[in-house]
Structure formats: C-alpha cells, structure tokens
Amino acid sequence: MAFSWFDEVGSMPPIEVFELNRKFLEDKDTNKVNLGIGAYRSEELKPWVLPVVKQVERSIVEDASINFEYLPILGLESFSSAATRMLLGADSAALNENRAFGVQTLSGTGALRLAADFLASCVPSVTKIAYISTPTWENHRLLFLKAGFNEVREYHYWDAEKRALDLKNMLNDLNDAPERSVVILHACSHNPTGVDPTRDEWKEIVKIIKARKLFPVLDSAYQGFASGDLDADAWAVRHFAEQGLEFVCAQSFAKNFGIYSSRVGNLVVVTSKAETVPKIKSQLTILVRGNYSNPPAQGARIVSAVLNDEKLTQLWKEHIRTMSGRMKNMRQLLRGKLEALGTPGTWNHLTDQIGMFAYTGLTEAQCQQLIDKHHIYLLKSGRINVCGIAPGNADYVAKAIHEVVTTVK
Ligand code: LMR
C-alpha cells in the first residue's frame, strides 16, 4: 500500500446527539419519535420557523441597502448591544457604566469557545482548570480542553435519588476548587436536567464563587424557555452582575429564535473597570481573526431587527410564550399518562423540571430498548426533549416507557 499522510489518523466516536438525530431521520418506522436533539417542535412535530423571523427575513431581502459585505470582526454592533441589553437588563449598572459589552459569535458554542480561548490565552490570572456540572451539556468539556485548559473537573449538581439539585455537594465542590479556577454554570434551563437553582440557592452559589475567587462562565442558551419570561430567566446572570462579579456569558439565539443553523450568538463580558474594555476587545479581535475572521450577517440582522423594534419584540415574546407553554403542557401530558398507566416510580419530576429537557431517570438499558424496540430516540442519559411529544404520540411514548420500566432494569 502506498504511503498516506493520514495512515496514522485514528477515528473518534460520533457525537451522540447528532448521531441519534441521523438515525432517527433514517428510521422508516411510522411510529418513530424524536426526543433527542434540543430543537423546538410544533404540535405537529415540525420545526417552527417563527413568524416574526419570516417577516423580518422578507423585509431584509427587499431592503436594497443591505448587501453581503464583511461584518466587522466582532460582528454586528446593533445586534450585540441589543443582545447584551436583553441579558443584563436595560437598567444594568454594568452597561450604564460602560463596563459590559457583547461580541457576536458563532452561536452559543462559538461564544463559549471564544471565552475559553480568551481565558486560556489572554487572562493569566485564571488557572487552566475548568469546572463543569455533573451532568452537563457534553460539549462543555470538549470546548475547554480544545481551548487549551489543562483539566476539566466536575462539581456535583444532580441528586439522582431525589431527582433534584444537589446543592450541598455542589457548594462543597466549589468551596474546594483551587482559587482562580473557572466555573461553568447554566444561566437557566439546565441542560440536561431541567433543574435550576432557586434564587436563594443562586445567592449561596454566588457567595462561594466570590469568596473562593472563582471565575464564572455562564451559558445562556435558553433565555425565555424556563419561565416564558426573558427577564425572569436572566435573573441569575443579573445577580452575578449586581454582586459586583466579573464574568462572561455565552448567549445563544438558536433556540429562542428557532434559528439553529444560522449560528447567532453573543459573548457578553462584564468587567469591573471600563478602562479594560478596549483591551479585552482587542484580544477578542485577534482571537476571532485567527479563527474565522468575522461572523455571518444574516441571522444577526434578524435578531437585531427584532430586538431593536418594540412591536417585533412583543411579537417574539408571544412566540416564546407559545414555545415554553407547549413544553409545560407536554410535561404535564406525559406525567399524567404515566401515572394513569401506573408506571412504577414517581413522575412528578417531569413537571417539576423546566424548559426543553426532562431528565427522566430511565437507565441506559431502558433508553436503548426505547430506541431499538419502540423507535423512540433519546439520549442514553435519559434526557428527553419534551417538544418531541404531542397529543398525537403521547400515548405511544407513555406506553413504551411503561413497557421498558416494567421489563428492563
Ligand atoms: C442539544 O443539547 O441537544 C443541543 O444543544 C444540540 C447540541 O449541539 O448538542
């Protein structure tokens, strides 16, 4: 065999959530159900292009002043300033004192990676140790390791027995973390558990982060999906700011605008000193330039048009209420059906949890049987996207869950 430069390239396992989606799409079974990838589905189980997005997109197409010239390296300013305001609140002291700003990124993932690159290569005061919750969105670990962090450690988050937040052990772990470590936290709608700290619990978390001199990286991928209210869902992030902490927050607009493939995100930086802002921006500029040069325009234009117009914002907020309301209803529906079937165990956690994901507590073997026998696709951790449920398939899903719970360990 002739030599190839690539002979020694090993192969890596596929990414579970995307592999699952591929298998679902290939599955020919007419009863198949997709409870996997975190994307909203309408009651007809179809992706939903938000009417406000369609409307703005049409006006962009017709707008003769819009062209395809490059955006600045840090993106569309009208987008990132509106996005930052949406996160921190219009009356944010950090914004009013010019201590906070945002830069456009390739969705929330791109914001996290830019944050991790920045911390690893430009901020000598942080250690290259990052803490993630157990469990978390699986990409957090990869992003921080690829950015050059030496170690990703875990902090307790989920109490499997109580199906609730394990606050005590979480606080202990944060307390034991070496000073100046980075800690990644979900701003709301924790992925995968659907369990967020209460406001009082957040206050305790923030106190420890402050006392232990940990650097917070917040991940806000679901603003609006936890409660249906953008401000309520930003409470934790705003609390960090109000307590005088410096932090970064990765914002994704994939979910709340339903524009997954447009890759619209914003990295918000909150500092204690306005004079550091130009320096930070200059570093982010180099990092972006050395990576993808500048971000795509179209999705950011859409979000910017909505957030900078009161009427369009109101329309969008209605869409958010529609989406979060449907998630709530489907939780209720599934819980009711399982309870009616007398499925062993308790199912109140389905409605206690919030947002897009329910952490069912099903074992890996039970999940595998749901996939193999019932064509119901879910992550092996037992996470389900409740948007994959609708009145039309809820009976089927509940009966299948009942079957695996009663027959598989
Ligand atoms: C998910 O958690 O399913 C989504 O955020 C998709 C992804 O990129 O993992």
Give the pLDDT confidence score for residue 382 in this predicted structure.
97
Q: pLDDT tens digits, residue range 62-120?
A: 999 999 999 999 999 999 999 999 999 999 999 999 999 999 999 999 999 999 999 99
Which of 38, 383, 34 minimizes the C-alpha distance to 221? 38
Sign of CA pseudo-dihedral 353, 394, 38, 258:
negative
Residue type, 119: L
Query: Residue 265 C-alpha to ligand 1 middle, in angstroms?
Result: 14
**Residue 105 half-sphere exposure toward CB, CA atoms < 13 A:** 30
Ligand 1 proximity of 38 Cβ (cutoff 6 Å): yes
Name the residue of 137, 140, 190, 379 to mutate for ligand 1: max ligand atoms within 8 A of Cβ.
137
> Quick check: 61 pLDDT over 90?
yes
Where does the chain hold its CATH 3.40.640.10 domain(s)? 69-308
Query: Residue 277 C-alpha to ligand 1 middle, in angstroms?
Result: 31
Q: Cα(56)–Cα(60) distance, rounded to whole angstroms? A: 6
Give the pLDDT confidence score for residue 37 in this predicted structure.
97
- Kindly give the number of the ligand 1 atom that is closest to the alpha carbon of 15: 9
Q: Cα(313)–Cα(307) distance, rounded to whole angstroms? A: 6
Which of 313, 344, 337 minimizes the C-alpha distance to 386? 337
Give the pLDDT confidence score for residue 133 in this predicted structure.
98
Contact 122, 283 (CB under 8 A): yes
DSSP H or E run through 269 = strand 264-270
Contact 87, 303 (CB under 8 A): no
Q: pLDDT tens digits, residue range 280-296?
A: 999 999 999 999 999 99
**DSSP conformation class of 14:** P
Contact 116, 132 (CB under 8 A): no
Name the residue of 15, 16, 17 to mutate for ligand 1: max ligand atoms within 8 A of Cβ.
17
Taking the domain 16-38+314-407, which CATH number applies?
Answer: 3.90.1150.10
> Quick check: 259 pLDDT over 90?
yes
Taking the domain 69-308, which CATH number applies?
Answer: 3.40.640.10
Question: For tokens 């911390």, what's the residue?
Answer: 119
- Kindly give the number of the ligand 1 atom that is closest to the alpha carbon of 191: 2
**DSSP conformation class of 126:** S
Q: pLDDT tens digits, residue range 364-382?
A: 999 999 999 999 999 999 9
Give the pLDDT confidence score for residue 1 in this predicted structure.
83
Which of 250, 244, 242 minimizes the C-alpha distance to 273? 244
Q: Cα(286)–Cα(294) distance, rounded to whole angstroms? A: 11
- Kindly give the number of the ligand 1 atom that is closest to the alpha carbon of 109: 8
Pairing of the two strands 247-252 and 264-270 = antiparallel
Q: Which residues pair with 269 in a beta bridge?
A: 101, 248
Q: Cα(193)–Cα(189) distance, rounded to whole angstroms? A: 8
Ligand 1 proximity of 135 Cβ (cutoff 6 Å): no
Quote the tokens at residue 143.
């992003």
Q: How many C-beta atoms lie closer than 10 Å to residue 236's C-beta?
A: 23
Instruction: Tell me the pLDDT of the chain averaged across its residues.
Output: 97
Give the pLDDT confidence score for residue 142 in this predicted structure.
98
Where does the chain hold its CATH 3.90.1150.10 domain(s)? 16-38+314-407
Q: pLDDT tens digits, residue range 129-166?
A: 999 999 999 999 999 999 999 999 999 999 999 999 99
pLDDT class for 409, splitting at 50, 70, 90? Answer: confident
**Using a CB cutoff of 8 Å and minimum separation of 24, what contacts does 312-318 make?**
312/52, 312/55, 312/56, 315/51, 315/52, 316/50, 316/52, 316/257, 317/224, 317/230
Q: pLDDT tens digits, residue range 301-346?
A: 999 999 999 999 999 999 999 999 999 999 999 999 999 999 999 9
> Quick check: 40 pLDDT over 90?
yes
Q: pLDDT tens digits, residue range 189-209?
A: 999 999 999 999 999 999 999
Q: pLDDT tens digits, residue range 172-190?
A: 999 999 999 999 999 999 9
Q: What is the DSSP code string of 222-242?
A: -TTTTTS-HHHHTHHHHHHHH
